[in-house]
Chain A
């Protein structure tokens, strides 16, 4: 064993309460850089709540979220994106009435700088920047394999391509950490295989992938490290093989044997 790999995201005693309901209860774990990290658990375990806490949508009630050593708990969503964390949504949230191309171009927003006066007067700098945005957007559409839909409204894309478009849009923000919320939901077995290939391609770019997934074959196949949540608490953590053998995990998924 080498020394422990560098941590990109540290979840440190994070709790999220909604009124009297404790959705995430004092959870701590570290996401290592450059790996595929998975968060699993039964419905209502608090997985998406934790994602929302990381990305600033609903800041945690207490605890720290350390991204590359900086506490980002409570930082606003657009700043989190600018710092290098991008995400997709469990229920696809594309800009439905914008083309696939425009969706990805929008993702470049936080990495581009043309100010109001430059946009108004189409200065040379602005035009050059727009050109770069266009190139990068086409590149990303090709990367996820949906360039043929570039000029189709996002809502008219086939379901699987919509999920891919969300990933392309997230990648357009140049993230170092990519959060995927159930990327394989509703996929056919063939699509799942393609998705796993895409996740590996993303890792190949040097981006850490942190995913929530229900499909055990996808999770076990693609991820190197797994954390299991149940009722807002962390009940297990480890490699796929370790987690699969864990008694509490089996209990959470299959119920207590009599």
Chain B
């Protein structure tokens, strides 16, 4: 009884007071339970998908530094993702054979993760240095342009990038020592120099990478650098007058966001074993931005939840929608709806044609019901309250002058 009472007390007080800890706890539990469940049901596919979702979590955390912390609207974020991915694909595949290098270059995954990170950060700084003097909308337009330029350059670099065909047969990560066990169907043993090819391996690497990034970004957020980002977002003039080098601090946010994107890109290339310019379109930049805004700008657990939710909707819910609708129609005796007749293409086809309408409706509904995002930061919550609060003040003033 006391245990239940204790749990109840915990549930009644703690989660509401500290949703951050609760979310992290649930995510950690989920990260452990999901692959075990999937392995038990033989669903390696699901684990692989979550590893993909993890890439988007990384990207969203990075974009959150730029948009959520420093308040800079970056609409070309996928460009850095592409840079990281191509960096990995060039330096860890047989492809450079085409450039006359026998057998291509095969640098280790773990080194290239960091190379991808630094190269992307470098490009971030390169793009940021001349443009971060711009404010608001102008910066958004410049980054939008950059996001369009990078895939286009990649497409037209000829032999260096193999154009639209992309680079394939990219190396999988290698782990120096790897424990294999019942969860992957083998007896328990330690394998040396194992190429990670199965979904669980990628999943574990992804969980480790995301955890490390969350801890590091949280540390930054709580440092003098994090405060300077917030100050620049709130009032750039005041921040400068208080001794913050605003250009440098914005450049830092930009470079760190880019580096996480490059990091994610390298991982993504190794998992997919293939990169092509089509993977890094404007749509990717927008998707990541939606993850950040819908999750709760400026709040890391919110952004993680947001990216998982959006990933699920985009890559599971919507593709499966026609199938689910067909099942439902059959179950409820509306199988007539499935037949094609005249302009009606059949329920399943109609659903797959309208899937972006459904996606848009979900986004609009979420933003109407929860404009602050699923898990907002304290700041966002306040900002939105300000809107309603100021309305009432204006009314009050009107009432007061009316009474006079």
Contacts and interface: CB of A to CB of B under 8 A. Distances in A.
B223, B225, B227, B239: which has the most chain A beta carbons within 10 Å? B223
Interface stretch (B180-188, B228-236, B306-314): B228-236
Given A78-B246, A106-B228, A106-B242, A130 B235 contact: no
Interface stretch (A117-125, A205-213, A228-236): A117-125
Interface stretch (A28-36, A37-45, A90-98): A90-98
Contacts of B235: 93-96
Contact of A106 (B220, B244, B386): B244
Contacts of A95: 230-231, 234-235, 238-239
A116 B252 contact: yes
A109 B228 contact: yes
Contacts of A108: 224
A119 B241 contact: no
Given A96-B234, A98-B230, A98-B234, A78 B244 contact: yes
A78 B228 CA distance: 12
Contact of B241 (A57, A130, A153, A155): A57
B216 A120 contact: yes
Nearest to A174: B243
A78 B240 contact: yes
Nearest to A113: B224
Interface in B293-322: none
Contact of A110 (B216, B219, B220, B244): B244
Interface string A80-115: 011000110100011111100010011111111010
A76 B245 CA distance: 9
Interface of B: 216, 219-220, 223-228, 230-231, 234-235, 237-246, 252, 379, 382-383, 386
* 6 tightest A-B CB contacts, nearest first: A110-B243, A81-B243, A119-B223, A95-B234, A77-B240, A93-B238
Interface of A: 55, 57, 76-78, 81-82, 86-87, 89, 93-98, 102, 105-112, 114, 116, 119-122, 126, 129-130, 133, 153, 155, 169-170, 172-173
20 contacts: A57-B241, A78-B241, A78-B243, A81-B241, A82-B243, A86-B241, A95-B238, A98-B231, A98-B234, A105-B224, A107-B242, A109-B227, A109-B244, A110-B244, A112-B224, A119-B219, A119-B226, A126-B223, A155-B382, A173-B242
